[in-house]
Chains A and B, each alone.
Chain A
């Protein structure tokens, strides 16, 4: 369930495994001696292949940041193995640190320094300096659309600019693997979508592999090649966004009918490609494999039965539903901002029920 060993399932071809995690477990020491510790990561296995953008999706406290911290050598696991490009993160942390770039949740740039200075100092921490590095810094700033602000203090940057600078900081030593911990936390939906483009452009230009955590469902959906859904320290599902969404049973067609119309359930159930049909007031929710092609047939069938259809909406499955299906509880994305997934969430029937 947690491992996805078939190479054919990786969308971008069977690249080599660059992040390999087996039986990883992290128990934080208890606050008081004698009490049980907090299990943050409860035995997870996964791997990431070269060139993938791999998402770790889950609510706050699910164990995402802990996993990233272990993989980036900032935290020693209680048990299990983790290798980055074949190097054991526990045995050779120093070697691993050279190979990876890290983008933190919060802005970790120095406010009183300019963007360029921040990058130069970060490069120095990797032992890099000189003209070639200065050129690379200018390139990075340009790619992140920060060239015009390169010599301004970070304290004058907007939230989106800080996130981009953070991405540049993580890339300054040209890592092949990038870890992003909630990279778009606190950005508005527009800023988030903008940030995704930068990650995608990095993937295209530098061929980086990225492992990112997020609690934004739409982010995982749009950006990631594969997603591991994590809850209470366990991976509860792993696959491509499409696979995960298919696992909850395809599209949903919502049909509204005039009040007091005759029962349509048997009729709808008989149509090809239809799964479960539920009726809530004057609205039918029809699970089906292809919602768009079902609309005309459903309308026709209803018309022939003498029922007027007042509205029809096709809903594509979302990761919200995946999460609900897998965990039995609704996604609890506890964000600093009103979470956009709540606004987008199509779980509430939009049609008045005339109760």
Chain B
């Protein structure tokens, strides 16, 4: 079982490491957001000079400046964007007949699923670290805004930050993996991604404070898994003052989303990996039936 799963993960890793375009393109948009959008769109500069910094910090849930607030949102955004590619591999494997070959071996279906979730989950988590690292680094570059963290951040806070990033990655990796298991063609997969990407991001608190939104939007934002993860991360870095609920509530909500998406992925994976109905090969007949 471990050897099977290791083999599958090794295969994914080798494929990934040899397609550098994917590696770079996954990181490009969060980096651009940090370097361009985050630098340009500094809400703090809109505050009249007479107003003290405490007012802004309060509006930004304790973050010392807008960039710090925004950078944490970008950590989540980077993971979610990376997760959107999670389902592509399985579609190519289906189209190229590689999945059929794997299924004709004694490898267990559970290994196939777990290997995908593990490897893709790690790929999804990586950009989060890159974004954190870059944002922290920018604080030391003259004339650029960067992520400034409160001095009271301890190991437990770091663990909370990491846990939030991890659970968020698992949740969205599972969600997009399930689309991959369900979709027959890459076009329909990217169709779904395109439809989902902006609504998921824009109904979260990744880029702007919740309390300036209209009430109806606040309800949506409150339950968005990105918001829940971002709340946990911001609490860990900037303190939990001003949040209506303790961190445990947000964590529970995030875990619930992750559980839901993992279940969805398991159901759709077991459907895609079943071999009692799917014809092998690619004869005209089996293609006609599979469509």
Contact = CB atoms under 8 A, between A and B. Distances in A.
Nearest to B106: A97
A124 B3 contact: yes
Contact of A125 (B7, B97, B278, B286): B7
Contacts of A76: 275-277
Contacts of A106: 96-97, 281-282
A215 to B, nearest CB: 10
Interface in B247-291: 275-286, 289
Interface string A289-308: 00000000000000000000
B280 A72 contact: yes
A113 B275 contact: no
B284 A60 contact: yes
A112 B98 CA distance: 13
Interface in B1-38: 3-4, 6-8, 10-11, 14-15, 18-19
B40 interface: no
A69 B280 contact: yes
B143 interface: no
Interface string A107-120: 01010110001001
A87 to B, nearest CB: 12
B283 A60 contact: yes
A108 B106 contact: no
A117 B96 CA distance: 18
B3 A129 contact: yes
Given A125-B102, A127-B4, A110 B277 contact: no
A38 B11 CA distance: 37
B interface, size bucket? 35 or more
A112 B102 CA distance: 17
Interface string B208-246: 000000000000000000000000000000000000000
B101 A102 contact: yes
B14 A112 contact: yes
A interface, size bucket? 35 or more
B3 A112 contact: no
A153 B15 CA distance: 11
Contacts of A128: 3
B102 A75 contact: no
A121 B103 contact: no
A75 B6 contact: no
Interface string A168-183: 0100000000000110
Contact of A113 (B11, B96, B100, B105): B11
A181 B277 CA distance: 18
Given A74-B103, A112-B14, A125 B283 contact: no
A125 B277 contact: no
A143 interface: no
Given A65-B286, A113-B15, A117-B14, A127 B275 contact: no
Interface of B: 3-4, 6-8, 10-11, 14-15, 18-19, 96-98, 100-107, 275-286, 289
Given A65-B281, A65-B283, 6 more contacts: A66-B285, A75-B276, A113-B15, A126-B105, A126-B107, A182-B281
Interface of A: 28-29, 31, 38, 40, 60-61, 64-66, 68-69, 72-76, 93-94, 97-98, 102, 104-106, 108, 110, 112-113, 117, 120-129, 153, 169, 181-182
26 contacts: A28-B285, A28-B289, A31-B289, A38-B285, A38-B289, A66-B279, A66-B286, A69-B280, A69-B281, A75-B276, A75-B280, A104-B280, A105-B97, A106-B96, A106-B281, A108-B100, A110-B14, A110-B98, A113-B15, A124-B4, A125-B106, A126-B105, A127-B3, A129-B3, A169-B101, A181-B280
